[in-house]
Amino acid sequence: MTSEIKISKVKESKVTQVDLDNVTMGFNFTDHMFVCDYTNGEWQNPRIEALNLIPTHPAAMALHYGQAIFEGMKATKGQDGTPLLFRPDQNAKRLNFSADRMGMPQFPEDLFVEALKQFTAIEKDWIPTKEGSALYLRPFMYADEPFIGMRAATSYKFIILGSPAGPFFSKKIKLFAENKYVRAVNGGTGEAKAAGNYAAAIRPTEYAKAKGYDQVLWLDAQDFEYIQEVGTMNIFFKIEGKFITPDLSGSILAGITRMSVIDLLRDKGFEVTERPIKLTEIKEASANGTLEEAFGVGTAVGIAMIEEIGNDDFTLKLPAENPVSNMVNDTLNAIKVQKAEDKFGWIVEA
């Protein structure tokens, strides 16, 4: 296929209608979208055009069999106003990992990154610059072939949308340790960023919210004993000066913020271990005063400090101070706007 991206820009941007200093992620969308079609075994016609509705056949296979995957990433502006991306190559790889698991075609990784660069450059006026804000980018792929029957679709769309985003959580969060529903099992789709994983989380998350919690803390599907991940993020604990996070055991999403935080913590001299973590270990550390910090990490949320973990059987109050997680949060945010040195080479100019 040709990787030249055809560009049709809108005549007038709607950005003036949006207060970028006070936006909530997911409600406003930028002027354009990137679209690419998969037909006859190849990706065709990559283009950036006005954001618009997409005609969809009611038998489109994504609607029936759930072949739908997505990515999440954020664009920021450097100190001189240059639009920047954070590790887009990693999102390209993870999209293709998800595609493979869901029987969907691979998307060329160089085109993925190039499309993001060109899209972000065109939408640069939509990038909020207030601290903790960014332009959230949503690349996604779904099966649009009209067919009733159980097999991989033969036609797909890959699209990128942009949505200006303020901070996801404005306060510390409370997690409901889910002890009835599960998110994923080894061998299932938990490692893929598949739309269905999030669909299955909606009802449990609603129950958790009704009880006063912000998100669900997922435990392992076998015994409800080991901590896996949180609704929209991975999780870290600091016990006696050392960090632990659940290892990628086969049902946990390999977060790009997760891997970046591990690198940052190690670079700051902290020990970080990826290993199975029992909920009872966290309860004990909380009881004997050795649990020092806990936080969630994800693209949309950034770094979210946790103040409480509980369910109908127990409540853990976490320490009020989060000095190291605050430092990691500040460092990551500073790298993303080129206020701190990008010593890992994570930043890509759009």
Instruction: Name the residue number minimizing CB distance to ligand COI.
Output: 72
DSSP annotation of 319: P
Nearest to 302 by CA among 242, 247, 206, 232: 232
By CB under 6 A, how many residues form the interface with ligand COI? 6
Binding-residue pattern over the window 63 to 82 for ligand COI, x denoting contact by CB under 6 A: ---------x----------
Distance of CA 270 to the CA centre of its chain: 25
Nearer to ligand COI, 300 or 309 (CB): 300
Nearest to 56 by CA among 156, 154, 152, 160: 156
Distance of CA 310 to the CA centre of its chain: 24
Site for ligand COI in 259-298 (CB under 6 A): 298
Q: Contacting ligand COI (CB under 6 A), which of 133, 299, 311, 329?
A: 299
What is the distance between the alpha carbons of residues 193 and 159, in angstroms, rounded to a whole number? 15
Secondary structure (DSSP) of 33-50: EEEEEEETTEEEEEEEEE
Nearest to 29 by CA among 132, 158, 123, 115: 123
CA angle 169, 296, 23 (to 5 degrees): 25
Q: Contacting ligand COI (CB under 6 A), which of 20, 143, 300, 306?
A: 300
Minimum distance between the CB of residue 70 and ligand COI, rounded to whole angstroms?
7
Minimum distance between the CB of residue 320 and ligand COI, rounded to whole angstroms?
26
Contact 189, 102 (CB under 8 A): yes
What is the rounded radius of gyration, in angstroms, for the C-alpha atoms of the chain?
21
Element (H, E) at 259: helix 256-267
Q: Contacting ligand COI (CB under 6 A), which of 181, 198, 207, 224?
A: 198
280 by DSSP, 3-state: which?
Answer: helix
Minimum distance between the CB of residue 68 and ligand COI, rounded to whole angstroms?
13
Site for ligand COI in 211-270 (CB under 6 A): 232
Nearer to ligand COI, 198 or 270 (CB): 198
Minimum distance between the CB of residue 240 and ligand COI, rounded to whole angstroms?
29
Nearer to ligand COI, 145 or 178 (CB): 178
Minimum distance between the CB of residue 324 and ligand COI, rounded to whole angstroms?
22
Nearer to ligand COI, 166 or 298 (CB): 298
Contact footprint for ligand COI (CB under 6 A): 72, 198, 232, 298-300
